[in-house]
Amino acid sequence: MEIIGRMTADASVNQTKTGKKVVNFSIAINDTYKAKESGELVKNVTYINCAYWLSAGIAPYLTKGTVVECAGRIAADTWTNKAGEVKARLTFTASRIKLHGGGLKPMMLTTSQPADAMTDAADDLPF
């Protein structure tokens, strides 16, 4: 199964009791359609919790606002909370992640020479 959505927050890296690292993140999938009865546009957002177990090195690239495409499988998790209530959630376990860009954090560019040094070299041309 494949899903495409926008990161809702920066990814986090967690570690299991056995030392295995997992990258956890959530994506929002937007859907817009026109209601038959009223003709109004209806906007629907589905949030999906995702886990990536193959490499924690991708976590710095999974930033809020980035569009990601994930391939993998979806599974239901169930547990009983402290109050004795049975809880459930769906988790998408990604086996492949493709980044489509669009993150909100701008990349910092560094230059090896100050701007003044570059203009001085242009003044010394022999013609």
Contact partners, residue 33, CB within 8 Å, separation at least 6: 41, 42, 44
Percent of the chain with pLDDT over 90: 70
Which tens digit of pLDDT belongs to each residue from 31-51?
998 988 888 999 999 999 999
Beta strand residue intervals within the chain, DSSP E: 2-7, 12-15, 21-34, 41-52, 67-80, 86-99
State which amino acid sits at residue 57: G
pLDDT range class, residue 120, cuts 50, 70, 90: low
- Weakest-pLDDT range from 35-39, 103-107, 118-122: 103-107
Instruction: Show the domains of the chain with their CATH numbers.
Output: 2-123 (2.40.50.140)
Is residue 68 within 8 Å of residue 43, measured between CB atoms? no
What is the number of other CB atoms lying within 10 angstroms of the CB of residue 78?
8
Sign of CA dihedral 62, 10, 17, 71: negative
* pTM metric for this prediction: 0.71
Distance CA 19, CA 110 (A): 36
